[in-house]
Structures are given as structure tokens and as C-alpha cells.
Amino acid sequence: MAIKSESVEDLAISNLLTYLLHWALQGVLAVQVYFYHVHFPNDRLQLKCLVYGVFIFEWVNFGLFTEDAFITFVYNASNNIEAYYLVGNEWFAVPIIGTLGSAVVQCFFAWRIYMLSRLWVLVGAIISLCMVQIVAGILTALKLREAHSIGEVVSSTSGLVALIVLGASTALLDIISALSMIILLLRQKTGTRRSTQLINKVVFLTLETGGLTASVAVAGIVLASVFPDQTYYAPAVYNQSKLYAITLLTHLLNRVHLRQIPSFDVEDISIPLSFAQETVTDNVEPSAEEVKPAATGIFVA
């Protein structure tokens, strides 16, 4: 693939920003996991396995990206400028590890939606989109594995279609999950001040995190489609799974902030859930009307 001389700096900058952002997000995730370990040592084993499994998954991803960073900027950069286009470990780290990590987090949010709605049709639609996402990720990985450069894949019709399907399914999943959670949560309001505060906090968090991940997915699609000869899409596409992992931990750690609501205890809120640790507290129990959101499946974990 021919590389324009005037694009060399853009290639180097976008690659460098991708790796720096990846390392920074890994640091954020590590701090979040530490806070989770400190604040919620009594969570159920299933939830701990999910958190630490995603964390280990992201460490593997981190190692693969770090190796590629050394290959690009240390070993090959002085020999051939096309090193900025080399596939390296990205064929496995992005569409395989990244897609599987994102799908796991999406399935967790689908389980949350089921706990609120008991609608298998909605959950089935989300899981089906997860399957589409995984298939598109595998196809993208095969394309990257066979190609000599990332630009070769993005410039080809089949490679670009696979990447667009992957990004579109990711963005659609984010939108459906966020909107479903917001609508279902708002329907649980009882009119009391404390239940309204609880639900509003979870709604705003869902809107913020869902909007962020969906925006990043759309940005990756647009940049890959408009600038196929550049790597402007790399910071968005390559760090998508890291954002999902951080989103998962953000929702789990949100239980700490909910303690600011008077007469609400985090463990009390989580009691109806199989992933939550049932714990007896000394706090004053809220009335039956005020605890209705928890009893019908609202949870923040």
C-alpha cells in the first residue's frame, strides 16, 4: 500500500495517542479494581469472577498492545515507515479479545435488564446483537491476519464492511441497553424522595456511560470510513473494550456513592440479586413503598 509522505506525521501521532490512551485507561481500570476489592469484599463469587476475569482479560490485551508499541516505535520505526501500518498483535487484541470482552460486559447489562423487565425478547435481541458483534470481530480478525497492513484491510471493501458491522453492532448494543435501562428504571419510581434520588443517580450514570461507549463506537466507524488511508480511527477502535471494562467497574462502584442517600444501605439495595451478597445491616429499614425499586429488581451492581 502506498503511503503519502505528508501523512507520516499523522500516522505516528494517531498510533502514539492510541498507545498512550490504552496505557492510561489500563491505569484507571487498575485503580477501579483496587477500589472494588477494598469496598466490596463480600460480593458473591460470580460477580468477583466477572470483575477479575475482565481485569485479567484486559491485562492480556495491555501486554499485546505494549509489545506492538515497542515494535512500531523502537524496532521498526527507523527501518521502514510502513511500521505504522503493520498489523502486529492487533489482529488478535482488537477484534478477538476486545470483542469478547465487550460482549461479556454487554451480557451482564442484559442480565440487569432482565432482572428489571423479565422480558426474554428484549434480552434475546441484545444477546443476538452480541453474537453479530462476535462474528464480525472474528471476520475482522481473519482479514487482519491475512493482510500485510491495517490500511490494506480498511481500504478493501470486505474489510471495511466487517469493521463497520462490528462498530455498528457495538453502538446499537450501547443504545439499546442504555435506553432500556433508563425506561425500566424510570418506571420504578414510587414518588418518594429517596427512591427518586436512587433511581436518578443510576439513570444519569447509565446515560453517561452508554452515551460515551456508543459515541466512541460511532466515531471509530466514521473515521475508518472517511479516512481509510489514515489511522485516525485507532484511538477509538482499539480502546473500545477498555472503555467497557471501565464502564462495568463504574457501575459496580456506584454503590459507594449511593450510600450518600439517607437511610439507604448498599447491601440492602442489592439483596434481591443473585450476584449480591445478602448482608444484615444495622441501618434503619426504609418503608415498603420506598424499597419497592430494590424489590422489583433495581440494582446498581
Task: Confirm whether 121 is domain-assigned.
Answer: yes
Number of domains in the chain: 1
The pLDDT value recorded for residue 282 is 37
Are 150 and 85 spatial neighbours (Cβ–Cβ below 8 Å)? yes
CA distance 250 to 178: 14
Angle of helix 8-39 relative to helix 240-257, nearest 10 degrees?
30
Residue among 196, 22, 2, 139 at smallest CA distance from 81: 2
Whether residue 223 is contained in a domain is answered as yes
Instruction: Compute the Cα dihedral for 169, 170, 173, 178 and give only its sign.
Output: negative
Judge contact between 233 and 19, C-beta under 8 A: no
| pLDDT per residue as tens digits for the range 110-164 | 998 988 888 899 999 999 999 999 998 898 888 888 876 666 777 778 887 888 8
Buried b / exposed e over 211-221, threshold 16 CB at 10 Å, is: ebbbebbbbbb
Rounded distance between C-alpha atoms, residue 291 and residue 208, angstroms: 25
User: Where does the pLDDT of residue 287 fall: very low under 50, low under 70, confident under 90, or very high at 90 and above?
Assistant: very low
**Element (DSSP H or E) covering residue 198:** helix 193-226
- The pLDDT-based confidence of 36 (bands split at 50, 70, 90) is very high
Q: Is residue 300 part of a domain?
A: no
Residue 265 lies in a domain: yes
pLDDT digits (tens, 9 = 90+) for 257-285: 776 655 544 444 433 333 444 333 333 33
Residue 301, in any domain of the structure: no
Structural domain contains residue 71: yes
Is residue 60 in a domain? yes
Query: What is the residue range of 255's domain?
Result: 5-295
